[in-house]
Amino acid sequence: MADNFSFAFSISFSWISCWVFWLMYEADRLNSAVKDAKAANRTESAKFEPASVLISFQKNKIWISVPAQFL
């Protein structure tokens, strides 16, 4: 039973890690696009709000909150 739990936990943790790194990559890519637009003195406005990922641990559960635009 413990082996199944540890296997499931490792799969879940790996998936969560991939998701968080993907969010960080997307936030960095958007930030770079905004900087490029500002450097080129483009007239259109660009708004960027960094991705906020909230990870909390409550009663042996992991809760992850991400902005709706990343879902």
| Total domains in the fold of the chain | 1
Which stretches of the chain are assigned E, i.e. beta strand?
Answer: 54-58, 61-65
- Using the structure block, give the residue that is written with the tokens 């890690």: 17
Structure tokens at 9: 């936990």
pLDDT value, residue 22: 80
Sequential pLDDT tens for the chain (71 residues) = 556 666 666 667 777 777 788 888 888 887 777 777 677 665 444 444 555 555 555 666 666 666 665 55
Separation of alpha carbons 51 and 46, rounded Å: 15
Range(s) of the domain holding residue 18: 2-70
pLDDT value, residue 45: 47
Whole-prediction pTM: 0.40
pLDDT value, residue 46: 45
